Amino acid sequence: MGIEVIVEGLTKSFGKQTVWQDVTLTLPPGEVSVMLGPSGTGKTVFLKSVIGLLKPERGRVLVNGVDMVNGPERDIYQTRKLFGLMFQDGALFGSMNLFDNIAFPLREHTRKKESEIRRVVMERMDMVGLVGSEAKLPGEISGGMRKRAGLARALVLDPQIILCDEPDSGLDPVRTSYISQLLIDLNAQIDATMLIVTHNLDIAATVPDNMGMLFRRELVAFGPRELLLTSDVPVVRQFLSGRREGPIGMAEEKDEATLAMEQLADDSTVPIAPPTVVPQLEPSPGLPPRQAVQRRRARVLAMWDQLPAAARTAVQAGLAPVQGEPA
Ligand SMILES: Nc1ncnc2c1ncn2[C@@H]1O[C@H](COP(=O)(O)OP(=O)(O)O)[C@@H](O)[C@H]1O
Ligand SMILES: [Mg+2]
């Protein structure tokens, strides 16, 4: 099963610029979480901080009892091997074919024989639908294939935590749906804890068990998908409905003056469609059910008292009877 990731009071600055402050959340083991946020809100910085590549000034990130911020470098290095990181741009070596790119972590970090490497690489290439493209160079394939190759490479060391940086960027809507399904299928097959950062609304609506949002240097919210999808927090509503009206502006975040003008103009008269919560994606036929589903169900029911009415209604609508249990 995937490993829990506990983030406590995390604050990261570059010089005088605070990227975000006091971020606290827990990625539940084996569940899929999505972190939303406009461009430049520090999503990539967050992923790099979780894995210990960037060092926030305050707070901690606990993985298996190791603090990825202030723990001993040796422990951080060991713990990092539990992670698979899929970079935004794929980060493939341009002069290496896909097979060698995907085999790279195995050759670098293990002493596996070449026959064993071939077995693992082909298995992962099969999982992401790339069999037959082993000899292709990154420059010869589509953006979608490069993403999948980056994902396959993130999987070869059997990670228990998978971090994906904008798996949809540069992809058309159809390719994005394929990636969404692939991420859910992956979760069903390996039960890893997953964190996806994105600003894609389709991924947000269909993939995660949990969702969070970074905005104006804060974590606006983090919780079960239904909580965010039915949220009446203006910035969350605006983001998830893709509207112009609201706190988020053209230059990433509207300045205070524009915002004040808009509030004078009475933003509340702009009609907003009631939030609809579409069902979460299921694993493809033939795959096992996601083990996270039952764990999450127990977890969400345990926090029932803290959920607003709209979120409860959405949770109830999604609580189909679990296989093998009485309805
Ligand atoms: N290594 C760095 N040095 C200085 N500033 C950085 C560095 N990395 C990121 N930043 C700044 O941190 C902010 C958040 O960046 P990023 O995490 O890439 O945003 P996002 O991924 O949400 O688009 C940006 O203002 C960016 O310029
Ligand atoms: Mg980024």
Task: Please give the domain boundaries of the chain with CATH numbers for all domains.
Answer: 5-82+159-265 (3.40.50.300)
C-beta of 14 in contact with ligand 1 (< 6 A): yes
**pLDDT at residue 317 greater than cutoff 50:** yes
**pLDDT of 71:** 96
**pLDDT at residue 243 greater than cutoff 80:** no
**pLDDT of 237:** 84
Q: What share of the chain is helix, strand, coil (3-state, %, to 5)?
A: 40, 20, 40
Is 23 within 8 Å of 7 (Cβ atoms)?
Answer: yes
**pLDDT at residue 139 greater than cutoff 60:** yes
Q: What distances in angstroms separate CA 197 from CA 27, 44, 69, one per listed residue?
A: 13, 8, 20
Least confident segment among 54-58, 71-75, 138-142, 288-292:
138-142
Query: What SS3 state is found at 161?
Result: strand
Q: What is the pLDDT averaged over residues 99-127?
A: 94
Distance CA 60, CA 44 (A): 17
Closest residue CA from atom 25 of ligand 1: 40
Q: How many CB atoms lie within 10 A of CB 119?
A: 12
Q: What is the pLDDT averaged over residues 288-295?
A: 94
Q: What is the pLDDT averaged over residues 174-192?
A: 93
Mean pLDDT score of the chain: 89
C-beta of 44 in contact with ligand 1 (< 6 A): yes
Q: Which amino acid is at 67?
A: D
Q: What is the DSSP letter of 158?
A: -
Q: What is the pLDDT averaged over residues 149-163?
A: 94
**pLDDT of 240:** 83
Mutate which of 14, 39, 86, 217 for ligand 1 pocket (most atoms within 8 A of beta carbon): 14
**pLDDT at residue 80 greater than cutoff 70:** yes
**pLDDT at residue 65 greater than cutoff 50:** yes
Q: What distances in angstroms separate CA 258 from CA 39, 67, 236, 243, 269, one per listed residue?
A: 19, 41, 18, 16, 17
Least confident segment among 9-13, 220-224, 299-303, 317-321:
317-321
Q: What distances in angstroms separate CA 314 from CA 98, 142, 157, 277, 282, one per listed residue?
A: 42, 38, 37, 7, 17
Is 226 within 8 Å of 318 (Cβ atoms)?
Answer: yes
Taking the chain, what is the end-to-end CA distance rounded to the nearest angstrom? 26
pTM of the model: 0.89
Spacing, Cα 200 to ligand 2 middle (Å): 13
Q: What is the pLDDT averaged over residues 6-17?
A: 97
**pLDDT at residue 327 greater than cutoff 50:** no
Query: What SS3 state is found at 22?
Result: strand
Q: What is the pLDDT averaged over residues 214-227?
A: 93
Question: And the tokens for 180?
Answer: 């969404």
Distance CA 103, CA 106 (A): 5
Residue predicted with more confidence, 45 or 251? 45
**pLDDT at residue 283 greater than cutoff 90:** yes
Q: Name the band, by pLDDT with cuts 50, 70 and 90, for residue 252.
A: low
Spacing, Cα 268 to ligand 2 middle (Å): 32
